[in-house]
């Protein structure tokens, strides 16, 4: 893999030496890192547990169309601009909604069991 990255001028690496990103390599790494952070933040906004959000963010960052990624980024950036009280109230309302759905699902499962 290091040879592939070196052949694409993304890293500087000599056998058994340290590995350094080139300017292009650094730029690509920044884009990938931002993409991962965006998906992790989005998943955490919708109350996905942090460990799961980190794992799933990795999957999403590689599988979605760039237009979809752009919209996720806009949404997460927009949420960050909102006043903290608005986000807190929204999250609490969403949490209540999720718990209500879970309770309703348990009732349905219990009634049919």
Same domain? For 20 and 42 the reply is: yes
Same domain? For 74 and 101 the reply is: no
As a whole number of angstroms, the distance between CA 91 and CA 89 comes to 5
Same domain? For 63 and 100 the reply is: no
What pLDDT score does 87 carry?
A: 77
Mind giving me the DSSP string for 57-91? Answer: HHHHHHHS-HHHHHHHHHHHHHHHHS-HHHHHHHH
Biggest CA–CA distance in the chain, Å, is 66
Same domain? For 14 and 33 the reply is: yes
Same domain? For 72 and 90 the reply is: no
As a whole number of angstroms, the distance between CA 57 and CA 88 comes to 22
Q: Is the pTM of this model over 0.85?
A: no
Q: Encode the chain (113 residues) as per-residue pLDDT tens digits.
A: 888 998 999 999 888 889 999 999 999 999 999 999 999 999 998 999 999 999 999 999 888 999 999 999 998 888 888 776 777 888 889 999 988 877 666 665 555 54
Give residue-wise pLDDT tens across range 4-30: 998 999 999 888 889 999 999 999 999
As a whole number of angstroms, the distance between CA 23 and CA 29 comes to 10
Domain count for the chain, please give it. 2
Same domain? For 11 and 57 the reply is: yes
What pLDDT score does 105 carry?
A: 66
Closest CA to 31 of 73, 1, 78: 73
CATH number at residue 25: 1.10.10.10
């Amino acid at each position: 893999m290091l040879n592939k990255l070196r052949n694409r001028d993304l890293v500087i690496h000599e056998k058994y030496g340290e590995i350094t990103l080139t300017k292009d390599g650094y730029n690509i790494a920044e884009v990938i890192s931002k993409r991962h952070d965006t998906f992790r933040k989005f998943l955490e906004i919708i109350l996905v547990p942090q460990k799961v959000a980190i794992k799933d963010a990795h999957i999403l960052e590689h599988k979605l169309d760039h237009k979809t990624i752009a919209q996720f980024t806009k949404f997460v950036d927009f949420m960050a601009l909102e006043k903290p009280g608005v986000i807190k109230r929204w999250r609490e309302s969403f949490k209540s909604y999720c718990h209500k759905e879970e309770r309703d699902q348990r009732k349905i499962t219990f009634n049919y069991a």
